[in-house]
Amino acid sequence: MGNVLMQDEGIGVRAVEELECRFQIPPEVQVLDGGTTGMELFEPMRQCDCLIIADAINSPAAPGSLVRIANQEIRAFFQTKLSNHQLGLSDLLALLRLKGEAPNHIVIIGMVPKDLENRIGLSAEASAGLPAMVAMLRAELAELGVELAPRRQQGKGHWQRQADLELAACA
Amino acid sequence: MTTRITVDPITRIEGHLRIDVEVDEGKVTKAWSSGQMWRGIEKILVGRDPREAWTYTQRFCGVCTTVHAIVSVRAVENALQLEVPLNAQLIRNIIQTAHAIQDHIVHFYHLSAVDWVDVVSALDADPVAAAKLAESLSDWPLNGPHEMKATQERLKTFVGSGQLGPFASGFWGHPAMKLPPEVNLLAVAHYLQALDVQNHANKIVAILGGKTPHIQNVAVGGVSNSIGHDAPSVLNIERLMLIKNFIDKLEQFVKSTYLVDVPAIGAFYLDWTQIGNGVNNYLSVPDCPQDTQGRVFDLPGGYIDNGDLSTFKPITRFDDAYFRDGVAESSKHAWYEGDAALHPWQGSTEPQYTDFQDEGKYSWVKAPTFYGKRAEVGPLADVLVGVASGHKGYQKYLNQALGTMKAVSGLSEIPLTALESTIGRHAARAVRCAVMLDTLKDQWQRLVDNVGKDQDTFNAPVFPKGEIKGVGFHAAPRGTLSHWVVIEDAKIKNYQAVVPSTWNAGPRDADGQIGPYESALLDNPVADPHLPLEVLRTVHSFDPCIACAIHMFDNEQSEIIKVKAL
């Protein structure tokens, strides 16, 4: 989840894009760019057995730091109101619980953002942390018994290309 | 004068509405409606190819995206006097009616029902009594005692967890909450069922539009859907039957639940039929064209002056001069240069920010007028225009809704003027949703009938040298939407959008007349200024598609509360 037009706000989208570019995704895994939508994610989320969310997360830790929050910790986390996206995401998770359709296992892999300006492209800190975030997502899937095999040819994702263009235009 | 500064939260929601009210002796005496976000897409469009404008205008909003795509191509087609193949009209009509149904259901159940429904009180309900009441009003199959009991059990666990999610900012126990526990339980059950139902409408939009939000299939001159009988990658019989399946599911919910719940809940809030009266002038445009030229419509349009249905004057064609010549927008109280009321083709969007000035400029939203008068747009206007024009569907479902309200309240008569109120807007939206459902069925049937003999979906546009002008309009879920375009040598020279929330949420106009939101808020009761539920109710009744920051001021103009609502 995240807004790719606001730099590190879009780290979650950039991380899953990178995951898809570098690894083959088996059919039992669905990778989704949740963007800035809210209720639209209700339908895909209710169909999940396990839900892994990549997102930007506010925390006192240094920019680029990675955080893993799972299951029961998520509720406690929302009580402290730290995430920019808590409104949409916490509401969705609450509704899924109320409907009795919440995924069995929910994990948030979050990164502390550095820059949130209206610009495409990550800060140096977020870029430096991106490979580790992708590795965490891969490890999370491995925990669930899904080993991602590397792609033989690794492409460049759409938002990575856009960020490169923006960088070139500013130079 | 106290200077007020508002810092809006950085969110991903598309724009902000700020409402300021002054309260004296428990009633609102002054109101200001202020759009807190600069849109600016009009300026981006200047110099671009008119055929691609719709991809940009769709980004006006993150909620009602499709409407800005369809109305944009209509504006360019109007400028070119371009005929649109019937299949394309019907496909657009299906998309827009399905979108309207989804929008209305979500607005009532998920965005505004909690203004009226005390979710926590549902825990005290007798599920058997709730089921009995529900079954006396409707034949919806999910109203039985087991369903009510299961809903209550889940709610108990949920509330016990202390994580109320979307209900966390509710006004539980507020003195203005009046529903018995059984009705509250019924509403919660339907809230949860509506989550499933609204998705059926979304799927119709996605099947035809490629995706939602932000459909991909419109084009100046038609749509990009190919039609075939059994080829797998085109609009074929299988896809059409899938759509029909979703329509049937929607119909059952809309007619047996939504159209029943709103008047039933309204019957417990009869005082709210006397609150929230707006500017009383109503504007609605015709929609769902049934021919290639936009001269025959399924849904009527027109204008009603001062709530008097006998003044109804129809708008009948896409190129109707009565609509085209009547619209103007003033920036006198908006953060743009100039203050004269300008026709949208002459309109400009040059920013001139001054901070919030009570008597000066205070909004990014301009103030539109129709022949010099403020007008309310949206379902209430659509229903009144529908009834005034003699549209059978509007009359039928309005009678049905008023009948339910009478049965539950025990009143023998409910006048039409009860609709011109805060609760009336919700009732009108439910009535419109039922009309949309019949229209959707009808458009689907006509498409199925037509594709057997005609697979045409696109008529290529040709742009002349020199200047041409066009207007496109659409009866969108929140009301009359129009896009105005001036094209010179095949490039956009000027583009202006007059959106429903411009009509309703606009600030004072060039003559100092207040807008519909501002007017509807006057005399609203406020029992507890720290919990201004009543103000939220009236603003929400218009279905603002923007996050709404309500600021309450006492007589000394010191800010006493800031409430953020969605």
Three-state SS letters, B408-445: HHCCCCCCHHHHCCHHHHHHHHHHHHHHHHHHHHHHHH
CB B330 within 8 A of CB B340: yes
Lowest average pLDDT, out of B304-313, B314-323, B493-502, B528-537, goes to B528-537
pLDDT at residue A81, as a whole number: 42
Contacts of B106 in chain A (CB under 8 A): 39
Closest CA to B84 of B556, B459, B483, B358: B459
B14, pLDDT greater than 50: no
Q: Does A37 touch chain B (CB under 8 A)?
A: yes
How many whole angstroms separate alpha carbon B89 and alpha carbon B222?
7
More confident of the two residues B552 and B77: B77
Q: Which residues of A17-50 are buried (b: 16+ CB within 10 A; e: fewer)?
A: bbbbbbbebeeebeeebbbbbbbbbbeebbebee
More confident of the two residues B94 and B537: B94
B564, pLDDT greater than 80: no
**Highest mean pLDDT, choosing among B434-448, B518-532, B534-548:** B434-448
Active-site residue flag, B478: yes
How many whole angstroms separate alpha carbon B257 and alpha carbon B435?
14
Q: Does A73 touch chain B (CB under 8 A)?
A: no
According to DSSP, the residues that pair with B313 across neighbouring strands are B303
Residue A47 Cα, gap to closest chain B Cα (Å): 13
Active-site residue flag, B174: no
Across the range B249-257, mean pLDDT stands at 97
pLDDT at residue B169, as a whole number: 62
Contacts of B10 in chain A (CB under 8 A): 84, 116
Residue A9 Cα, gap to closest chain B Cα (Å): 10
Nearest-by-CA chain A residue for B206? A40
Lowest average pLDDT, out of B73-77, B87-91, B124-128, B166-170, goes to B166-170
Closest CA to B458 of B235, B268, B171, B165: B235
CB B145 within 8 A of CB B128: yes
> What sign results for the dihedral spanned by CA atoms A118, A123, A129, A134?
positive
pLDDT at residue B556, as a whole number: 44
Is B158 in Cβ contact with A97 (below 8 Å)?
A: yes
pLDDT class of B24 with cuts at 50, 70, 90? confident
**Residue in the block written with tokens 């909690």:** B114
How many whole angstroms separate alpha carbon B455 and alpha carbon B85?
9
Distance of CA B39 to the CA centre of its chain: 19
Is A36 in Cβ contact with B165 (below 8 Å)?
A: no
For chain B, report the end-to-end CA distance as a whole number of angstroms.
Answer: 30
B315-366: per-residue pLDDT in tens?
Answer: 999 999 999 999 999 999 999 998 889 999 998 888 899 998 999 999 988 9
**Residue in the block written with tokens 């074929």:** B236
Contacts of B154 in chain A (CB under 8 A): 98-100
pLDDT class of B65 with cuts at 50, 70, 90? confident
H helices within A28-99, ranges in order?
42-46, 72-79, 86-98
Residue B138 Cα, gap to closest chain A Cα (Å): 23
Across the range B415-436, mean pLDDT stands at 97
Sheet holding B282-284, edge to edge: B282-284, B301-304, B313-315
Farthest-apart Cα atoms in chain A, separation: 52
Contacts of A39 in chain B (CB under 8 A): 106, 110
Q: Does A90 touch chain B (CB under 8 A)?
A: yes
Closest CA to B74 of B390, B244, B297, B313: B297
Task: Choose the catalytic residue: B18, B39, B68, B446.
Answer: B68
More confident of the two residues B559 and A75: A75
Is A100 in Cβ contact with B165 (below 8 Å)?
A: no
More confident of the two residues B251 and A77: B251
Nearest-by-CA chain B residue for A1? B12
Across the range B276-297, mean pLDDT stands at 97
Q: Which residues lie below 8 Å from residue B141, measured CB to CB, with a gap of 6+?
A: none
Residue B306 Cα, gap to closest chain A Cα (Å): 38
B474, pLDDT greater than 70: yes
CA distances from residue B258 to B118, B141, B262, B267 in whole angstroms, order as listed:
18, 14, 6, 14
pLDDT class of A77 with cuts at 50, 70, 90? low
Is A3 in Cβ contact with B195 (below 8 Å)?
A: no
CB A110 within 8 A of CB A57: yes
Is A40 in Cβ contact with B158 (below 8 Å)?
A: no
B232, pLDDT greater than 80: no
**Residue in the block written with tokens 């339907």:** B190
B183-208: per-residue pLDDT in tens?
Answer: 999 999 999 999 999 999 999 999 99
Active-site residue flag, B64: yes
Nearest-by-CA chain A residue for B168? A91
Please state, for a pLDDT cut of 70, what percent of chain B lies above it.
Answer: 92
Bond into B314 cis (ω within 30): no
Lowest average pLDDT, out of A13-22, B35-44, B75-84, B543-552, goes to B543-552
Closest CA to B90 of B235, B241, B290: B290
Over chain B, what is the mean pLDDT? 90
Structure token digits, residue B441: 């069925």
B12, pLDDT greater than 70: no
Across the range B466-481, mean pLDDT stands at 97
pLDDT at residue B536, as a whole number: 84
Is A40 in Cβ contact with B213 (below 8 Å)?
A: yes
Across the range B250-259, mean pLDDT stands at 98
B47, pLDDT greater than 60: yes
Task: Choose the catalytic residue: B16, B34, B39, B64.
Answer: B64
pLDDT at residue B99, as a whole number: 96
pTM listed for this prediction = 0.90
DSSP for B199-250, written as a single string:
HHHHHHHHHHHSSSSS---EETTEE---B-SS-TTSB-HHHHHHHHHHHHHH
pLDDT at residue B62, as a whole number: 65
A91, pLDDT greater than 80: no
More confident of the two residues A42 and B385: B385
Q: Does A87 touch chain B (CB under 8 A)?
A: yes
B386-419: per-residue pLDDT in tens?
Answer: 999 999 999 999 999 999 999 999 999 999 999 9
More confident of the two residues B3 and B157: B157
Contacts of A94 in chain B (CB under 8 A): 158, 163-167
pLDDT at residue B545, as a whole number: 67
Is A91 in Cβ contact with B163 (below 8 Å)?
A: no
pLDDT class of B546 with cuts at 50, 70, 90? low
Contacts of A3 in chain B (CB under 8 A): 12
Is A40 in Cβ contact with B11 (below 8 Å)?
A: no
pLDDT class of B8 with cuts at 50, 70, 90? very low
pLDDT at residue B534, as a whole number: 86
pLDDT at residue B159, as a whole number: 87
